[in-house]
Amino acid sequence: MKTIILPGYSPYNKEWAYEIKDKITNSSVIEWDHWSGGSMSLPREITKIKKKVGKDTFNIIAKSLGTRVTMHLISELMSQINKIILCGIPTKLRTKKTRELYTRGFIQISSKNILVIQNKKDPFANAEIITKFVRSVKPKVKVIEKDRSDHNYPYPEDFVKFLTT
């Protein structure tokens, strides 16, 4: 089954995405248009992803901005999505609009088909905040808190384990 990798906003995330791709069979990286001089446009990126997956069933590994894009994809492609891994949800979920976006996404997918990995001291949102939110929306979703204090998510072993079970 195909896995698409949706990286974070910064071009630095391109390296992360390709390192993960090297560890995940049958995967591909979505490169954001703004990395090559364009601008970030959610509708354009969603269209690009839809073309990439076609009518196939697929998995998603998303980091940071990629988690937000994933929440939009769930509402449009839910019947094609198998499993989702969300790493480094980048927001403290303070705004109502953001909470609603993530809540809608979590509600639409089975708890057994989603994994959240959040670093304990991620500077964009620590694991305590994200775990509390996820549990309030979907208590049975597995959340793994990693003992890091950055926004880096080098956990291909966890990704492979989840995708193959």
Give the Cβ contact number of residue 41 at 10 Å: 13
**Any idea what the CATH number is for the domain that residue 95 is in?**
3.40.50.1820
Average pLDDT of the segment spanning 78-87: 97
Q: Is 56 helix (H, G, I), strand (E, B) or coil?
A: coil
Domain around 90: 2-163
Q: What is the pLDDT of residue 27?
A: 97
Residue 46 tokens read as 């969603």
Domain count, the chain: 1
Helical ranges in the chain per DSSP H:
12-21, 42-53, 65-77, 96-108, 127-137, 156-163
pLDDT exceeds 90 at position 164: yes
- Gap between the Cα atoms of 10 and 21, Å rounded: 17
Could you give the strand order of the β-sheet that contains 142-146, starting from the edge strand earlier in sequence? Answer: 27-29, 2-6, 58-63, 81-87, 114-119, 142-146
Q: Among residues of the chain, what percentage have pLDDT more than 70?
A: 100
Label residue 93 by pLDDT band (50, 70, 90).
confident
The whole-chain average pLDDT of the chain stands at: 95
pLDDT exceeds 80 at position 96: yes
Q: What is the pLDDT of residue 53?
A: 95
Residue with tokens 């906003």: 9
pLDDT exceeds 80 at position 85: yes
158, 117 Cβ separation under 8 angstroms: yes
Q: What is the pLDDT of residue 145?
A: 98
Among the listed residues 14, 144, 7, 112, the one whose alpha carbon sits nearest the alpha carbon of residue 64: 7
Residues 6+ apart with CB under 8 A from 132: none
pLDDT exceeds 90 at position 91: no
- What confidence tens digit (pLDDT) does each residue in 8-56 have? 999 899 999 999 999 999 999 999 999 998 889 999 999 999 999 999 9
pLDDT exceeds 80 at position 115: yes
